[in-house]
């Protein structure tokens, strides 16, 4: 019961934050609502007992990436962007795409519900208090089975770092 | 409606203890911060051969309350062109992040809000890092150049020193092998040595980085009067300003607690496994009694009757604290059959004392530095962070790791680990200084005022 | 416990909102933020399935996605700064030259 309340609370905040992110005219407000949505998602991770991912979401996403966003928003001139039109003219495209996506996933969920004896599985495969310590598990998995992807990700980050510096540097 | 009450009772039944602790922290912390400020003013006065606040209460002991009342009844000014929503939100964010970070800390083995969370110290570090949004958004929302530049400076400083602090924490965590706060302290008990001694370079890096992160002198130029008026806080007044102030001092307590937990042995007394030092258990009691007696001696010297009574009350509180601290030590002294019954209180109460004692020493060190060192210039600050502390902390993680492997190879434990970690730390320091030197040589001489590039 | 469908619907909602943001907004910074929303929605699904099957692989991949998002944000914002320096705009329909 408590679990459900927590889930609905966080998901309501996440969805509301997401909607406000894409509809606000002021970019800084957008960023604030995106932060809200990301924090709510972190709460959902915690509700799913993914503690390590919860804190990574907070440190990396909110504390890292969003700080970068806010910084860039303050570096580029805001006033020009605020005065002009909010949306481009692709409303119908957006509507179509989102409807198609919703229909697709809805159909899928509906059809699994129709299947005999299957239905939508309930998250109860492993009881919450029987889970092994999360960060240790993630670390073990990350540094054994997924060592190569991990290294690739670090190379990707290095490339991105160099790329960002090259991009943002003033040409002499 | 019934469902709501059911959920609420379920929640309260399950989490009443953390809720109570949380209420206690939120209620008491502003008071503590007020008295930290008073202590800071007293120390400053002492170092400058003055008396400090003396008017409100005996020896200025009621000054924090007077200050709080003054701040609360001040006019609340919101600038005309400010972004109202964000202007309202920013100080709340700042103080909220700082208070939330307190939840992950353990003040003694008994008092911890979020008990045994798996991510422990990461939670504290990550959540307190969110305070940066309060600074950036506050500076942006006030729609003033001083505020914006102060906010950008402050957040640039926070971001760059957070890296160094994080890497320093990693070196400490290597010894602990866990993120859980309780287990970290337990690991220090098992090894019989503080990790601050095993990784002195990491401790030093964390010390410097934590001063910069809390915007304290000598790195306080985001909010220094002579630099940018008051930086991001320029347009804030009254209660909002005091929220920022509360956040800053809470952050000080948070970083001091993290350092204490990881590097200074948490709630363990010095040398927890050396039994002939057991008499240290009596130190808290003796200390509090001594302060109480000093207070009593000061009573006749107070000028007014009210002040005498207040001083008496302070002395009484000291004696009460001494009594609480003494009980778990003295009871088994007289009646040895009660040792087992008293044991949890013994650890909880004395552990709390030692933790708060170490945190106070750390904060005292902050204040000492503030009144001793001159302020840095912004480009010097950035250079210190990026060219010295970050390389130093990264190299330190590497060499400490090697030292640990060497130590386990030769079956070294506890104090013996110093044989490998001390040379490793020295090595890290030498390499970092070498890099700094090489960079300074290769870098073309720049005009000293050109700090604009360091923002990027 | 909750059925997995709840999490999938939440992920779907965030994903669609993100897609709408990417397609309709003109400000490149907001478009980048909408992409973050999309990646976030995917993360929710991954973690939910990871919890369902009691396997941390989903969480590991969510970690990779977060690293990827960091890289994307860094490069994307670098491009925006470089572009803003040259053209003084962050609106995508004013980015209409291949070379300047």
CB B137 within 8 A of CB B89: yes
pLDDT at A16 over 90: yes
CA B173/CA A88 separation, integer angstroms: 50
Q: Is residue C10 part of a domain?
A: no
Whether chain C has a CB inside 8 Å of the CB on A67: the answer is no
Full domain range(s) for residue A166: 134-172
CA–CA distance, B82 with B102 (Å, rounded to integer): 31
Report if residue C13 sits inside a domain: no
Distance from C-alpha of B388 to C-alpha of B211, rounded to nearest angstrom = 15
Q: Is B111 helix (H, G, I), strand (E, B) or coil?
A: strand
Which of residues A43, A72, A98 is at a domain's end? A98
Note the maximum CA span of chain B. 74
3-state secondary structure chain A: CHHHHHHHHHHHHHHHHHHHHHHCCCHHHHHHHHHHHHHHHHHHHHHCCCHHHHHHHHHHHHHHHHHHHHHHHHHCCHHHHHHCCCECCCHHHHHHHHHHHHHHHHHHHHHHHHCCCCCCCECCCCCHHHCCCHHHHHHHHHHCCCHHHHHHHHHHHHHHHHHHHHHHCCCC
Same domain, A17 and A64: yes
Half-sphere exposure of residue B410: CA atoms within 13 angstroms, side-chain side = 13
At A79, phi and psi to the nearest 5?
-55, -35
Tokens of A108: 């899928």
Residues 76-115 of A with CB under 8 A from C: 76-77, 80-81, 84-88, 90-91, 93-94, 97-98, 101-102, 105, 109
A74-94: buried (b, 16+ CB within 10 Å) or exposed (e) per residue? Answer: bbbebeebeeeeebbebeeeb
Work out the average pLDDT over C10-36: 86
Chain C residues 15-54 with CB within 8 Å of chain A: 15-21, 23-27, 29-30, 32-34, 36-37, 40, 43-44, 47-48, 50-54
d(CA B27, CA B93): 18
My answer on whether A11 and A70 are in the same domain is yes
Residue B192: pLDDT over 60: yes
Tell me the C-alpha distance between B403 and B422, whole Å. 9
Q: Which of B415, B389, B391, B432 is nearest to B175 (CA)?
A: B415
Q: What is the CATH number of the domain that holds C77?
A: 1.10.287.3510
Return the CA Rg of chain B. 24
Quick one: A30 and A90 in the same domain? Answer: yes
Do C26 and A83 touch, CB atoms closer than 8 A? Answer: no
* pLDDT score for C42: 92
pLDDT in tens, C56-80: 888 899 999 999 998 988 888 888 8
Contact between chains at A141 and C56 (C-beta distance less than 8 A): yes
* B239 C-beta neighbours (distance < 10 Å), count: 14
Q: Which of C14, C68, C57 is nearest to A144 (CA)?
A: C57
B181 has a pLDDT exceeding 60: yes
From the list A5, A58, A133, which residue is nearest B118 (CB)?
Answer: A133
- B12-60 pLDDT, tens digit each: 887 787 788 888 888 888 888 888 889 888 888 888 888 888 877 777 7
| Residue A105 included in any domain | no
DSSP label at C25?
B
Segment (H or E) for B107: strand B106-107
Interhelix angle B390-409/B418-442, rounded to 10 degrees, is 150
**Torsions phi, psi of B374, nearest 5?**
-75, 160
Residues of A in contact with B132 (CB under 8 A): 63, 67
Closest among A6, A66, A64 to A36, alpha carbons compared: A66
- Phi, psi angles (nearest 5°) of residue B435: -60, -45
Q: Give the number of domains in chain A.
A: 2
Q: Which residues contact A129 (CB under 8 A, 6 or more apart)?
A: none
Q: What is the pLDDT of residue B73?
A: 87
Give the rounded percent of residues in chain C with a pLDDT score beyond 90.
Answer: 12
Which chain A residues are within 8 Å of C95, Cβ to Cβ?
A: none
pTM: predicted TM-score of the whole model, two decimal places: 0.86
Q: Is C78 within the bounds of a domain?
A: yes
> Do the Cβ atoms of C16 and A101 come closer than 8 Å?
yes
In-domain check, residue A41: yes
Neighbours of chain C (3+ CB pairs under 8 A): A
Contacts of A16 in chain C (CB under 8 A): none
| Cβ within 8 Å of residue C25, ≥6 positions away | A22, A86, A87, A88, C31, C34
Query: Does residue B274 carry a pLDDT above 70?
Result: yes
Q: Which chains touch B (3 or more CB pairs under 8 A)?
A: A
What is the DSSP annotation of B246-309?
HHHHHHHHHHHHHHHHHHS-TTPPSSTT-GGGGGGGGHHHHHHHHHHHHHHHHGGG-SSHHHHH
Give the angle A104-A107-A110 at the CA atoms, nearest 5°.
150
Query: How close does chain A come to B343, measured CA to CA in Å?
Result: 29
Measured between alpha carbons, how far is residue A30 from residues B60, B143, C33 in Å?
A: 47, 18, 8
Q: Does residue A110 belong to any structural domain of this protein?
A: no
Provide the number of structural domains found in chain C.
Answer: 1
Of B89, B132, B456, the CB nearest to A67: B132
- C100 band by pLDDT with thresholds 50, 70 and 90: low
C20 inside domain: no
Do residues B161 and B384 touch, judged by C-beta distance below 8 A?
Answer: no
Residue A36 included in any domain:
yes
Give Cα B17 distance to the centre of its chain: 24
A148 contacts: CB under 8 Å, gap ≥ 6: none
Q: Within the 95-134 window of chain A, which residues sit less than 8 Å (CB to CB) from chain B?
A: 133-134
Which range in A128-137, B307-316, C60-69 is most confidently predicted, on average pLDDT? Answer: C60-69
Domain span at residue C50 reads 27-92
Residues 6+ apart with CB under 8 A from B213: B157, B158, B161, B162, B165, B251, B255
Please give the pLDDT value at position C39: 92
* A109 found inside a domain: no
C62 domain-assigned: yes
Reduce the secondary structure of B174-238 to three states and give it as a string.
HHHCCCCHHHHHHHHHHHCCCHHHHCHHHHHHHHHHHHHHCCCCCCCCCCCHHHHCCHHHCCCCH
Q: Is residue A24 part of a domain?
A: yes
Q: Which residue of C has its CA nearest to A2?
A: C1
Residue A32, domain member (yes or no): yes
Indicate which CATH number applies to the domain containing A61: 1.20.120.1200
ipTM of the assembly? Answer: 0.88
pLDDT tier at A84, thresholds 50, 70, 90: low
Q: Per residue in B78-101, pLDDT tens?
A: 877 777 888 888 888 889 898 888
Q: Does C70 touch chain A (CB under 8 A)?
A: yes
Subunits adjacent to chain A (3 or more Cβ pairs under 8 Å): B, C
Q: Are A93 and A151 within one domain?
A: no
Separation of alpha carbons B201 and B392, rounded Å: 8
d(CA B184, CA B161): 23
Residue A118 has pLDDT above 60, yes or no: no
Contact between A101 and C12 under an 8 Å Cβ cutoff? The reply is yes
Contact state of C20 with A122 under an 8 Å Cβ cutoff: no
Q: Are C14 and A19 in contact (CB under 8 A)?
A: no
């Amino acid at each position: 019961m408590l679990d459900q309340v927590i889930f609905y609370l966080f998901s309501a905040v996440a969805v509301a934050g997401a909607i406000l992110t894409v509809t606000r005219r002021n970019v800084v407000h957008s960023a604030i609502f995106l932060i809200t949505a990301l924090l709510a998602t972190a709460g959902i991770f915690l509700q799913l007992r993914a503690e390590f991912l919860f804190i990574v979401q907070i440190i990396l996403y909110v504390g890292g990436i969003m700080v970068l966003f806010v910084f860039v928003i303050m570096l580029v001139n805001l006033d020009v962007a605020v005065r002009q039109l909010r949306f481009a003219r692709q409303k119908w495209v957006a509507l179509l795409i989102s409807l198609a996506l919703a229909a697709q996933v809805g159909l899928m969920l509906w059809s699994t519900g129709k299947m005999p004896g299957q239905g939508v599985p309930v998250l109860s495969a492993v009881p919450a208090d029987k889970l092994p310590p999360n960060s240790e598990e993630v670390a073990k998995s990350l540094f054994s089975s997924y060592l190569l992807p991990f290294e690739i990700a670090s190379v990707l980050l290095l490339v991105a770092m160099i790329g960002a510096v090259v991009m943002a540097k003033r040409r002499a | 409606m019934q469902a709501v009450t059911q959920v609420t009772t379920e929640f309260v039944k399950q989490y009443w203890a953390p809720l109570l602790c949380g209420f206690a922290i939120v209620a008491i912390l502003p008071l503590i911060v007020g008295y930290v400020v008073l202590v800071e003013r007293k120390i400053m006065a002492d170092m400058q051969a003055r008396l400090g606040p003396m008017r409100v209460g005996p020896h200025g002991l009621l000054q924090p309350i007077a200050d709080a009342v003054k701040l609360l009844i001040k006019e609340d000014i919101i600038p005309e062109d400010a972004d109202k929503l964000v202007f309202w939100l920013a100080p709340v964010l700042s103080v909220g992040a700082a208070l939330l970070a307190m939840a992950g800390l353990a003040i003694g083995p008994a008092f911890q809000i979020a008990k045994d969370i798996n991510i422990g110290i990461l939670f504290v570090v990550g959540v307190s890092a969110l305070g940066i949004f309060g600074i950036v958004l506050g500076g942006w929302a006030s729609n003033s150049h001083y505020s914006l530049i102060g906010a950008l400076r402050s957040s640039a400083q926070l971001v760059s020193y957070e890296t160094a602090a994080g890497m320093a924490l990693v070196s400490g965590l290597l010894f602990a092998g866990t993120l859980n706060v309780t287990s970290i302290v337990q690991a220090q008990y098992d090894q019989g040595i503080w990790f601050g001694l095993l990784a002195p370079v990491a401790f030093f890096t964390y010390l410097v980085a934590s001063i910069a992160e809390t915007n304290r002198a000598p790195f306080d130029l985001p909010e220094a009067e002579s630099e940018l008026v008051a930086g991001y806080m320029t347009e804030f007044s009254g209660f909002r300003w005091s929220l920022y102030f509360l956040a800053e001092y809470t952050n000080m307590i948070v970083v001091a607690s993290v350092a204490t937990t990881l590097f200074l042995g948490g709630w363990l007394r010095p040398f927890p496994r050396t039994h002939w030092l057991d008499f240290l258990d009596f130190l808290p009691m003796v200390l509090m009694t001594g302060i109480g007696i000093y207070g009593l001696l000061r009573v006749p010297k107070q000028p007014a009757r009210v002040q005498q009574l207040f001083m008496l009350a302070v002395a009484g509180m000291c004696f009460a604290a001494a009594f609480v601290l003494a009980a778990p030590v003295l009871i088994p002294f007289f009646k040895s059959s009660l040792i087992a019954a008293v044991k949890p209180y013994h650890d909880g109460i004395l552990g709390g004392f030692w933790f708060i004692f170490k945190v106070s020493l750390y904060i005292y060190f902050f204040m000492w530095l503030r009144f001793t060192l001159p302020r840095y210039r912004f480009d010097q600050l950035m250079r210190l962070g990026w060219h010295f502390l970050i390389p130093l902390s990264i190299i330190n993680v590497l060499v400490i790791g090697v030292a640990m492997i060497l130590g386990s190879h030769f079956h070294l434990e506890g104090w013996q680990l110093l044989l490998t970690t001390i040379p490793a730390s020295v090595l890290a320091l030498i390499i970092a200084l070498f890099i700094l030197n090489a960079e300074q040589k290769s870098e073309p001489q720049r005009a000293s005022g050109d700090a604009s590039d360091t923002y990027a | 416990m909750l059925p997995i469908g709840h999490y999938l619907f939440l992920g779907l909602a965030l994903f669609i909102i993100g897609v709408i943001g990417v397609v309709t907004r003109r400000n490149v910074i907001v478009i980048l933020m909408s992409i973050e929303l999309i990646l976030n929605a995917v993360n929710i699904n991954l973690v939910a399935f990871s919890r369902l099957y009691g396997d941390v692989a989903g969480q590991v991949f969510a970690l990779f996605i977060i690293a990827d998002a960091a890289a994307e944000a860094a490069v994307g914002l670098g491009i925006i700064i470089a572009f803003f320096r040259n053209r003084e705009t962050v609106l995508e329909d004013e980015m209409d030259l291949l070379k300047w």
